[in-house]
Structure 1
Amino acid sequence: MTRITVLGGTGYAGSAVVREALSRGHTVTSFSRSLPERDTRVKGVTYKTGSLLDPDVRDRAVEGADVIVSTLSPRGELDGRIVEVDSALADLAAQHGVRLVVVGGFSSLRIEAGGPRMAEGDDIPPQFASEARQMNEVLSVLLAAPEPLDWVFFSPAAQFGSYVPGDALGRYRLGGDVAFYDEAGVSAISGADFALAIIDEIERGDHRRVQVSAAY
């Protein structure tokens, strides 16, 4: 049994990770700005609240965890400060020997091996550009992080989010830092199956200090 703390555990990706982790028998804590409605809370999950901009909240989030899963995104109060927050969490994780899993974005992937990451180009739609570049900077921080930080950066498919929830198919494919697609040329994954990939990685520990992508 692993003690897993999910930051942003009431959001789309975070809530899927919470449910999958609990279903596997792990001890799960969710941190978010506010408590979810009672009828949406998952029985067996410990829900805590606080702003991750607060160093004391970050300390509480990391304390007692084996794995931290950050599903935070650069929106609201974290817009413009997500790099600061995830960097501080990385430092705490290294100090406490806690594994850090960061959910990033599709735009941090490359079109081809050795090529630039999509977030580094000028082709991202303006409405997504700021988020994409901020999360790509988080990845850069992790890539430069010294030992002993144990981290994995998970990029979902292009079609991923509450606007395309998809179905739980119970399958996925893993890739590295190059985007990949199915036979129809589609890059997609449901929240449930993305969470499946993350918890499988937490249990198996196949990847360390690398970017991983998940899609069908």
Structure 2
Amino acid sequence: MAQIIVLGGTGYAGRHIVAEAVSRGHGVVAISRSAPSDPVAGAAYVQGSALEPETLASAFAGADAVVSALSPRGDMTDRALEALANVIGLLDGTETRLGVVGGAGGSLVAPGGPRLFDQDFPEEYKHEAQVGIDSLALLEQTDGGLDWFFIHPAEVFGPWAEGERTGNYRDGGDVLVRDADGKSFISGADFAVAVVDEIEQGNHHRDRFTVGY
């Protein structure tokens, strides 16, 4: 059983990750700035912010993995990278793995590129996509003292397209995963399956990967 911390554990991706990890018997602490409106039974909840790293140090102590599922929205719109830098600073040089939930925009559409972001990407989602791209760059700039993984969901991913838990997904490496009809989709629950699988199996070290059906 692993001890897993989920930052942004009350958000869409975060809550699914919390639920999946609890269902597998892991110890889970969800950290968010607000109290959960729909807490997952079996998870512990702590109010805190990655913008105040001194409040997170004790929570991180002894953790096997920290997953950042923070979204660059609201008052975090322009501070998500600052928050991630704080988390990196706390975990660098420790044995705790860091997983970061990104967006689909940084995924490649074919081996070698280009990125989805560079293919007529919707203007209204560009800021969030750029934050994801910059977050990956921030991780890649770290030295070997931090064991991290970065996971891109499929193109269609969010509460507007919830889907179901099937327990299945495909790992596309750095290329966006599409099905036989060209659709790129993954449910929130199966995205969480991929995240917790990575924590348990450790298939990607200091690397990114995409998931979809």
The correspondence of residues 1-216 of structure 1 with structure 2, limited to 5 A, is 1-37=1-37, 40-119=38-117, 121=118, 123-216=120-213
Q: Counterparts of 2:148 and 2:174 in 1: how far apart (Å)?
A: 15
Residues 91-144 of structure 1, C-alpha deviations (whole Å, 9 max, x = no match): 21123321000000000101122224333x372211101110011100011112
Letter in 1 for 2:4: I
Letter in 1 for 2:36: P
SS at match of 2:145: coil
Letter in 1 for 2:145: P
SS at match of 1:208: coil
**Pairs aligned (count):** 213
* Residue 157 of structure 1: how far off its partner (Å): 0.3
- Sequence identity of aligned pairs in percent? 45
Q: Counterparts of 1:60 and 1:129 in 2: how far apart (Å)?
A: 35
Q: Counterparts of 2:167 and 2:59 in 1: how far apart (Å)?
A: 29
* Residue 61 of structure 1: how far off its partner (Å): 3.9
* Residue 159 of structure 1: how far off its partner (Å): 0.7
Q: Counterparts of 1:80 and 1:60 in 2: how far apart (Å)?
A: 26
- Which consecutive residues of structure 2, in runs of 5 or more, have no partner in the other structure? none
With normalisation by structure 2, the TM-score equals 0.95
Q: Counterparts of 2:22 and 2:78 in 1: how far apart (Å)?
A: 32
* Residue 203 of structure 1: how far off its partner (Å): 0.5
Residues 186-207 of structure 1, C-alpha deviations (whole Å, 9 max, x = no match): 1000011010111111111111
Question: Are 2:167 and 2:193, in contact at CA under 8 Å, matched by a contact in 1?
Answer: yes
SS at match of 2:160: coil
Question: Are 2:51 and 2:86, in contact at CA under 8 Å, matched by a contact in 1?
Answer: no
Letter in 1 for 2:5: T
Letter in 1 for 2:33: R
Alpha-carbon spacing, 1:41–1:139, altered in 2? closer, same or farther (3 Å): same
CA RMSD of aligned residues (A): 1.3
- Which consecutive residues of structure 1, in runs of 5 or more, have no partner in the other structure? none
With normalisation by structure 1, the TM-score equals 0.94
